[in-house]
């Protein structure tokens, strides 16, 4: 399977043999389940504290995370520094387990949490 990135303003991705129509509802559920799972791995009370912190300080509710992924990533990184990055990695691993391997090579940039999630949103 091969992924190609087109040079369009939308930064579209194409995967050989895969229909590239996003399934927004199911992706939202996969992402939120991955976030829940990752937060829960830290502890049930920690999960609730993180969600409360995101809501109170960044006005990001749990249900808004899929549509505000860049804001969510920025909030995690600002609030939890290195631990925020580790949480992002946990979420990416959980997503990977749910959607399986997808061959993707970013061109000339580091792969960020937000770009990984956006790429998956498009491919799933």
Q: What angle do CA 9, 14, 1 make, to 5 degrees?
A: 150
| CA dihedral sign of residues 77, 82, 83, 88 | positive
Instruction: Parse the chain into domains and list their residue ranges.
Output: 3-123
Cross-strand partners of 15: 3
Provide the pLDDT confidence category of residue 111 given band limits of 50, 70 and 90.
Answer: confident
Q: What angle do CA 109, 74, 114 make, to 5 degrees?
A: 45
The encoded tokens of residue 3 equal 């992924």
The encoded tokens of residue 43 equal 């502890």
Mean pLDDT of 87-100: 90
CATH 1.10.1200.200 fits domain 3-123: yes
Provide the pLDDT confidence category of residue 14 given band limits of 50, 70 and 90.
Answer: very low
State the pLDDT at residue 42: 93
pTM of the model: 0.73
Mean pLDDT of 31-55: 96
């Amino acid at each position: 399977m091969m992924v190609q990135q087109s040079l369009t303003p939308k930064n579209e991705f194409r995967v050989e043999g895969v229909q590239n129509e996003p399934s927004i509802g199911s992706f939202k559920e996969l992402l939120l389940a991955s976030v829940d799972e990752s937060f829960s791995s830290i502890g049930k009370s920690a999960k609730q504290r993180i969600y409360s912190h995101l809501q109170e300080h960044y006005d990001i509710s749990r249900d808004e995370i899929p549509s505000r992924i860049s804001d969510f990533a920025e909030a995690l990184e600002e609030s939890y520094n290195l631990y925020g990055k580790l949480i992002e990695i946990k979420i990416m691993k959980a997503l990977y387990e749910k959607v399986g391997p997808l061959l993707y090579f970013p061109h000339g940039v580091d792969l960020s949490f937000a770009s990984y999630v956006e790429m998956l949103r498009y491919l799933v």
